[in-house]
Amino acid sequence: MGERGLPGRKEIVEQHQREERRFRTDALRAGLGVLTRTYRTRVTRAAPRGIDPGDLDVRAATDAVGLITEVAQALPRNPNETLLLQSLFTRLAALAS
């Protein structure tokens, strides 16, 4: 019988692909959440020390949170994840310098 003999095979494969995509998206969102918390921690630690909000490090961390949020909002549109993350990390590196 082989693969042709399995009724509903196409539906099973499609469901598996949807679930795999959902798990991958959830993992990416979790990673982006950790990254966002790291940058937000930088901003909140700078505030009690009386550092000016216009300070370059604080501004860069705030901009980084915005970039990460943009990437997280793009995930439901099924982008190429590799290119999306490469773009994010390139932009984050530019903020650091």
Cα separation, 72 vs 4, whole angstroms? 39
**pLDDT, position 49:** 66
Q: pTM, whole model, 2 decimals?
A: 0.78
pLDDT at residue 4 above 70? no
Q: Is 19 helix (H, G, I), strand (E, B) or coil?
A: helix
Q: How many CB atoms lie within 10 A of CB 68?
A: 22
Question: What does the pLDDT average to over 61-83?
Answer: 93
Q: Output the furthest CA–CA distance in the chain (Å, rounded).
A: 73
Query: Which of the four pLDDT bands, split at 50, 70 and 90, describes residue 67?
Result: very high
Q: Which residues of 4-39 are buried (b: 16+ CB within 10 A; e: fewer)?
A: eeeeeeeeeeeeeeeeeeeeeeeebeeebeebbeeb
* Residue whose pair of structure tokens reads 């099973």 in the numeric block: 12
Amino acid sitting at position 44: T
